Structures are given as structure tokens and as C-alpha cells.
Amino acid sequence: YISVFMWTPALREDKEDLPFGLIFSTFMVSCMAGSSLFSVLIEHVKGEKLAVFIFAFASVAMGLVALSSSQLLKFIAMLCFEATVGMYWPVMGTLKGAIVPESKRAAIYNLYRIPLNFIVLFSLLTDLTPTQSFTLNCVMLATAAILQAILMTRRQKHGLMEAETSPTDEAKEALLSSPSEKKDDDHDVV
């Protein structure tokens, strides 16, 4: 959401009039291309690995937007970011369906909206510059890539990633439970 509010000032640094309608249209085409690219990639790459790539690539794109002095490079980086947005929605839908137990979906999804709204409010109410906003996006996306890699590792460890069928709700609950709860189950009593 931060990029939605900040792309215009980021591209308009020299106060030049830009064709905003055309620019926005290219963003939407990039988003659609990303969604189509997801359809191709998901046949060859597991969703967890694809999500790590998406977050890492989006982080690099945001870093380029934040650090570049070239309007053209910023625009190309924004197009790349929009392509990752197009891949994000279907990959997250796939992963949520595989990981989050059906009985707890509504509660968990609503909990994730709280920090999202705080981050957006923080960005809008603190008058961050476009460079600061895109740097913040870059850091958050890099953090998401790291956390997704950790999740992927945990799912591999529990044998949930390779499963062709959807794991049971009990398996999903076990993955979501804290590691300290699992320590007792991991050791056999002699």
C-alpha cells in the first residue's frame, strides 16, 4: 500500500508533468503479467520456494526505486515490483490454503491486517519521503523473504512441503504450534 501512495512523488521528483494514466496502466499490465508468470512457474517450482523468490525480487526492486537517481530505472524497478505483486496474490492464496487450518482462517487472516494497517498509517502520518518509504518497503520485503525461507525450511523438516495432497488440519496445527511445545514430543522416553 505504501507504494500506491508514493509512486507518484517518486517519479515526479523534478516536477515534470508525467502521463500518470499511461504509467498506471503499465503497472496494471505488469501486475497481470506477474499473475500469468505465476501460472507458468508454479508448475515447475514449489509455492514456498516461489514465494521466497518473489519477496527477494520485490525487495531488490524496492531498493532500486529507493536508491536510484534515474527516473527510467525507478520506473523499470516499479514495473518489476508490480510483476511481483501479480505473483504475490496467487502464491499467498495457494500457501494459505495449504498451511492455515480451515477452522482458524478467519481469525488468523484478520490478525494479519492489524500490523498492515499500522505500517500504512505510520508511513502516511510521519511524512516519510519517497526514498524513506521505499527503503522501508525494501527492508520489510527482505524480512518477508527471510521469514518465508524459515517457513519453507520448517515445512520441509515436517515433510509438509513435498506432500502432493493437502496436509491435514492436525499437521497444520503442529506446524503453527511453538517449538517449545514440540520438544517434549520429539524425545522418546527410555
pLDDT band at 166 (very low <50, low <70, confident <90, very high): very low
Q: Answer with the residue of higher pLDDT: 147 or 99.
A: 147
Q: How many CA atoms lie within 13 A of 18 on its CB side?
A: 19
User: Residues 124, 127, 128, CA angle at the centre, nearest 5°?
Assistant: 95
Cα gap 137→5, rounded to integer Å? 12
For residue 9, the one-letter residue type is P
pLDDT at 5: 75
CA distances, 13 to each of 36, 110, 128, 184 (Å): 32, 37, 14, 58
pLDDT of residue 33: 97
State residue 171's pLDDT score.
54
pLDDT at 189 over 50: no
Q: Is the pLDDT of residue 184 over 50?
A: no
Band (1; pLDDT cuts 50, 70, 90): low
Length of the chain: 190
Residues whose CB falls within 8 Å of the CB of residue 161, separated by 6 or more in sequence, listed in order: 46, 48, 152, 155
Percentage of the chain exceeding pLDDT 90? 46
Please write down the HEC assignment for all residues of the chain. CHHHHHHHHHHCCCCCCCCHHHHHHHHHHHHHHHHHHHHHHCCCCCHHHHHHHHHHHHHHHHHHHHHCCCHHHHHHHHHHHHHHHHHHHHHHHHHHHHHCCHHHHHHHHHHHHHHHHHHHHHHHHCCCCHHHHHHHHHHHHHHHHHHHHHHHHHHHHCCCCCCCCCCCHHHHHHHHCCHHHHHHHHCCCC
* 35-77: pLDDT as tens digits: 999 999 999 999 999 999 999 999 999 999 999 989 899 999 9
Cα dihedral 106, 138, 123, 83 sign = negative
32, pLDDT greater than 80: yes
For residues 162 and 33, the model is more confident at 33
pTM: 0.77
Place of cell 531488490: 60
Look at residue 134 and tell me whether its pLDDT is greater than 50.
yes
Confidence bin at 15 (pLDDT 50/70/90): low
